[in-house]
């Protein structure tokens, strides 16, 4: 059963674009559907981690909005970081899922029992993934991954009800 969901940001939680306003402030667009999916993941008892190679205030802000406390930015070698995190927190490979979109995610993905990617992920990641979400990065792919994880182990309906009070029967 999945207990930890690790998320990349650029190209997974966002469309992969890096935008700057006229003052040089970085701007990112996040999908509300992904936010709903992460609320459902929390309701199912899944710990959510953001692990990204870049650093920026938009990621901190979005994580705070979604009550994600495991936010690790400027992680240059994700596999080394994740291996250490899993060991320190007692996670086995089978308990960890990863959702990412590009080559810098590949080694970390190989540490995980379930791997999902957005529809527009790179070919090498699509070939590695256990599940290719029908949505593109920044357009609900993370919600799609959460739904697949929870449907696979029979937690989807209960988690949706716990998160939003909506029965799916």
The answer to whether 101 is a known ligand-binding residue is yes
Q: Are 15 and 136 in contact (CB under 8 A)?
A: yes
**Pairwise CA distance, residues 142 & 84, whole Å:** 24
As beta bridge partners, residue 98 has 6, 115
The answer to whether 10 is a known ligand-binding residue is yes
**Pairwise CA distance, residues 66 & 51, whole Å:** 15
Say which residues have a Cβ less than 8 Å from residue 40's Cβ, sequence separation at least 6: 143, 146, 147, 150, 156, 159, 160, 163, 164
The answer to whether 8 is a known ligand-binding residue is yes
Exposed, middle or buried by CB within 10 Å (0-12, 13-18, 19+), for 22? exposed
- Binding region for substrate: 10
**Binding-site positions:** 8, 10, 101
Binding site members for Mg(2+)? 8, 101
């Amino acid at each position: 059963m999945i207990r930890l969901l690790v998320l990349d940001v650029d190209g997974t939680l966002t469309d992969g674009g890096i935008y700057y306003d006229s003052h040089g402030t970085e701007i990112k667009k996040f999908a509300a559907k992904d936010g709903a999916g992460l609320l459902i993941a929390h309701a199912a008892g899944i710990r959510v981690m953001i692990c990204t190679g870049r650093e920026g205030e938009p990621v901190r802000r979005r994580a705070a909005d979604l009550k994600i406390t495991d936010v690790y930015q400027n992680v240059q070698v994700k596999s080394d970081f994740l291996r250490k995190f899993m060991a320190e927190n007692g996670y086995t490979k089978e308990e960890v899922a990863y959702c990412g979109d590009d080559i810098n995610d590949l080694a970390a993905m190989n540490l995980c029992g379930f791997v999902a990617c957005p529809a527009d992920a790179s070919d090498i990641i699509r070939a590695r993934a256990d599940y290719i979400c029908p949505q593109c990065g920044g357009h609900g792919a993370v919600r799609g991954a959460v739904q697949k994880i929870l449907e696979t182990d029979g937690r989807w309906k209960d988690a949706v009800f716990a998160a939003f009070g909506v029965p799916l029967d």
